[in-house]
Amino acid sequence: MDLAEELATKQRSISVAEFFEKNKHLLGFDSPTRGIITTIKEAVDNSLDACEEAEVLPDIYVGIKRTEKDVYRIIVEDNGPGIVPKQVPFVFGKLLYGSRFHQIKQSRGQQGIGISAAVLYAQLTTGIPATVISRTGHTSKANRFLIMIKTEVNEPQVLEQEEIDWDRMHGTRVEIEFKSSLAAKKRLLDYLRYTAVVNPHARIRADIDGEKFNFERGSDETIIPPKAIAPHPHGIEFGTLKRMAEASSLKLKEFLIEGFSRVGDKNADEIIGMSGLKPDRKAQGLKTEELKKLLDAMQTVQVPPPPASQCLSPIGEDKIVAGIDKEFQLDFVRSRTRKSQVFSGHPFIVEAAIGYGGKLESEGPAQILRFANRVPLLYQQGACLITNAASQVNWKAYNLSQQGIPIGPVLILVHVASTNVPFTSESKDAVAAIPEIEKEIILVLQELGRELKNYISRRDKNKQQEERARAVCSILPDIAEKVADIVGKPVPDTTSLEAQIMRKVVVKKKVSNGKVLISVNNYTKHPASLTIYNMSEDSASDAKPKPDFVDKIGDEYNKLWKVEISPESSWKTEYSGNSHGTVSVRGVEEKLLVVVDII
Amino acid sequence: MDLAEELATKQRSISVAEFFEKNKHLLGFDSPTRGIITTIKEAVDNSLDACEEAEVLPDIYVGIKRTEKDVYRIIVEDNGPGIVPKQVPFVFGKLLYGSRFHQIKQSRGQQGIGISAAVLYAQLTTGIPATVISRTGHTSKANRFLIMIKTEVNEPQVLEQEEIDWDRMHGTRVEIEFKSSLAAKKRLLDYLRYTAVVNPHARIRADIDGEKFNFERGSDETIIPPKAIAPHPHGIEFGTLKRMAEASSLKLKEFLIEGFSRVGDKNADEIIGMSGLKPDRKAQGLKTEELKKLLDAMQTVQVPPPPASQCLSPIGEDKIVAGIDKEFQLDFVRSRTRKSQVFSGHPFIVEAAIGYGGKLESEGPAQILRFANRVPLLYQQGACLITNAASQVNWKAYNLSQQGIPIGPVLILVHVASTNVPFTSESKDAVAAIPEIEKEIILVLQELGRELKNYISRRDKNKQQEERARAVCSILPDIAEKVADIVGKPVPDTTSLEAQIMRKVVVKKKVSNGKVLISVNNYTKHPASLTIYNMSEDSASDAKPKPDFVDKIGDEYNKLWKVEISPESSWKTEYSGNSHGTVSVRGVEEKLLVVVDII
d(CA B341, CA B416): 11
Per DSSP, the residues of B348-375 read: EEEEEEEEESTTS-SSSBPEEEEEETTE
d(CA A503, CA A496): 10
What does each C-alpha distance from A269 to A250, A257, A273, A294, A296 come to in angstroms?
15, 10, 6, 12, 14
Chain A residue whose CA is closest to B424:
A26
Q: Give the other-Cβ count within 10 Å of A561's Cβ.
A: 21
Which amino acid makes up residue B102?
Answer: H
**Chain B residues inside the 8 Å CB shell of A103:** 10
**Chain B residues inside the 8 Å CB shell of A422:** 25, 30
Check CB contact under 8 Å for B124 and A238: yes
Q: Which helix (H) or strand (E) holds A530?
A: strand A528-536
Confidence of residue A457 (pLDDT cuts 50, 70, 90): confident
Chain B residue whose CA is closest to A424:
B26
Q: Where are the beta strands (DSSP E) in A273-345?
A: 332-337, 341-343
**Chain B residues inside the 8 Å CB shell of A11:** 87, 90-91, 97-99
d(CA A410, CA A365): 8
d(CA A417, CA A339): 11
- Which residue positions of B form the known binding site? 46, 78, 99-100, 109-116, 428
Longest CA–CA separation in chain A, Å? 121
**Chain B residues inside the 8 Å CB shell of A291:** 127
Chain B residue whose CA is closest to A91:
B11
Check CB contact under 8 Å for A99 and B10: yes
d(CA B467, CA B405): 31
Check CB contact under 8 Å for A84 and B18: no
Q: Is A554 exposed, middle or buried (0-12, 13-18, 19+ CB in 10 A)?
A: exposed
Residue A179, marked binder: no
CA distance B240 to chain A (A): 7
R_g (Cα) of chain B, nearest Å: 34
Architecture of domain B495-598: Sandwich (2.60)
On whether the CB atoms of residues B297 and B260 are closer than 8 A, the answer is no
Check CB contact under 8 Å for A8 and B87: yes
**Chain B residues inside the 8 Å CB shell of A427:** none
Residue range A238-300, CATH number: 1.10.8.50
- Which residue positions of B form the known binding site for ATP? 46, 78, 99-100, 109-116, 428
d(CA B195, CA B366): 20
d(CA A195, CA A188): 11
Chain mean position to CA A537: 52
Segment A336-388, tens digit of pLDDT: 999 999 888 889 999 999 999 988 988 889 999 999 999 999 988 888 999 99
Going by CATH, does the domain composed of A16-215 fall within 3.10.20.740?
no
Chain mean position to CA B527: 33
Longest CA–CA separation in chain B, Å? 122
**Chain B residues inside the 8 Å CB shell of A433:** 30
pLDDT on residue A2 = 67
Check CB contact under 8 Å for B1 and A238: no
Which residues lie below 8 Å from residue B23, measured CB to CB, with a gap of 6+? A111, A423, A426
pLDDT on residue B502 = 67
Residue A239, marked binder: no
d(CA B532, CA B551): 14
**Chain A residues inside the 8 Å CB shell of B433:** 30
CA distance B167 to chain A (A): 15
Closest to B81 (Cβ–Cβ): which among A7, A170, A238? A7
**Chain B residues inside the 8 Å CB shell of A12:** 97-99, 102
Task: Tell me which residue of A341, A103, A343 sits closest to A230, measured CA to CA.
Answer: A103
Residue A404, marked binder: no
Q: Show me where the domains of chain B are located.
A: 16-215, 238-300, 329-457, 495-598
**Chain A residues inside the 8 Å CB shell of B13:** 90, 94, 96-97
Which residues lie below 8 Å from residue B345, measured CB to CB, with a gap of 6+? B231, B232, B234, B235, B236, B306
**Chain A residues inside the 8 Å CB shell of B54:** 1, 3
d(CA B394, CA B409): 17
pLDDT on residue A325 = 85
% helix / strand / coil in chain B, to the nearest 5? 35, 30, 35
Q: Is A260 exposed, middle or buried (0-12, 13-18, 19+ CB in 10 A)?
A: buried
Chain mean position to CA B60: 17
**Chain A residues inside the 8 Å CB shell of B25:** 422, 424, 432
Check CB contact under 8 Å for B13 and A97: yes
On whether the CB atoms of residues B505 and B567 are closer than 8 A, the answer is no
On whether the CB atoms of residues B235 and B436 are closer than 8 A, the answer is no
CA distance B90 to chain A (A): 9
Torsion of CA A91, A94, A99, A101, to 10 degrees: 150
**Chain A residues inside the 8 Å CB shell of B5:** 84, 136
CA distance B237 to chain A (A): 6
d(CA B219, CA B320): 12
* CATH fit for domain B329-457, picks 3.30.230.10, 3.40.50.1820, 3.60.10.10, 3.30.565.10: 3.30.230.10
Check CB contact under 8 Å for A5 and B136: yes
Closest to B239 (Cβ–Cβ): which among A127, A243, A422? A127
Q: Where are the alpha helices (DSSP H) in B260-382?
A: 265-275, 288-300, 308-311, 317-328
Which residues lie below 8 Å from residue B338, measured CB to CB, with a gap of 6+? B349, B350, B351, B440, B443, B444
- Annotation: CATH topology of A496-598: Immunoglobulin-like (2.60.40)
Going by CATH, does the domain composed of A317-457 fall within 3.40.50.300?
no
B496: three-class secondary structure by DSSP: helix
Residue A2, marked binder: no
On whether the CB atoms of residues A378 and A368 are closer than 8 A, the answer is no
Task: Tell me which residue of B53, B50, B38, B63 sits closest to B172, measured CA to CA.
Answer: B50
Residue A357, marked binder: no
Per-residue burial over B132-144, b if 16 or more Cβ lie within 10 Å, else e, is bbbbbeeebebbb
On whether the CB atoms of residues A60 and A48 are closer than 8 A, the answer is yes
> pLDDT at residue A141 above 90?
yes
On whether the CB atoms of residues A50 and A80 are closer than 8 A, the answer is yes
Would strands B375-377 and B410-418 be described as parallel, antiparallel, or unpaired? unpaired
d(CA B421, CA B347): 10
Residue A168, marked binder: no
d(CA B269, CA B589): 69
Task: Tell me which residue of B352, B393, B396 sits closest to B370, measured CA to CA.
Answer: B352
Task: Tell me which residue of B276, B284, B229 sits closest to B252, measured CA to CA.
Answer: B284
Residue A78, marked binder: yes
CA distance B97 to chain A (A): 4
Check CB contact under 8 Å for B82 and A14: no
Which amino acid makes up residue A482?
Answer: K
Name which residue leads in pLDDT, A485 or A408. A408
On whether the CB atoms of residues A413 and A441 are closer than 8 A, the answer is no
pLDDT on residue A528 = 87
Check CB contact under 8 Å for B99 and A7: yes
Closest to A382 (Cβ–Cβ): which among B87, B102, B383? B383
Q: Is A438 left (phi over 0), alpha (psi -120 to 50) or beta?
A: alpha
For A491, which DSSP code? P
pLDDT on residue B599 = 54
Check CB contact under 8 Å for A14 and B96: yes
Chain A residue whose CA is closest to B125:
A238
Q: What pTM was estimated for this model as a whole?
A: 0.76
Closest to A14 (Cβ–Cβ): which among B26, B112, B127? B112
> From the first residue on, what is the mean pLDDT of each consecutive set of 10 residues in chain B (599 residues)?
76 90 88 91 94 93 94 96 95 92 85 92 94 94 96 95 95 96 92 92 95 89 88 90 93 95 94 94 93 94 89 92 86 94 90 93 91 93 92 93 91 96 89 93 96 89 71 70 74 68 78 87 85 88 90 86 88 88 82 71
Rounded mean pLDDT of chain A?
89
Task: Tell me which residue of B224, B203, B222 sits closest to B214, measured CA to CA.
Answer: B203
Name which residue leads in pLDDT, A593 or B86. B86
Q: Which helix (H) or strand (E) holds B103?
A: none
Chain B residue whose CA is closest to A125:
B238
**Chain A residues inside the 8 Å CB shell of B238:** 123-127
CA distance A426 to chain B (A): 8
pLDDT on residue B1 = 47
d(CA A136, CA A168): 10
Which amino acid makes up residue B297?
Answer: A
Sheet strands side by side (includes B142-150): B155-164, B142-150, B130-135, B171-179, B71-78, B59-68, B203-208, B211-215
Cβ-Cβ pairs closer than 8 A, A with B, add up to: 207
On whether the CB atoms of residues B481 and B491 are closer than 8 A, the answer is yes
Check CB contact under 8 Å for A25 and B422: yes
Residue A113, marked binder: yes
Query: Taking chain B, what is the end-to-end CA distance rounded to the nearest angstrom?
Result: 114
Chain A residue whose CA is closest to B425:
A425
Confidence of residue A1 (pLDDT cuts 50, 70, 90): very low
What does each C-alpha distance from B569 to B525, B528, B548, B564 come to in angstroms?
10, 10, 21, 10
Residue A115, marked binder: yes
d(CA A245, CA A235): 16
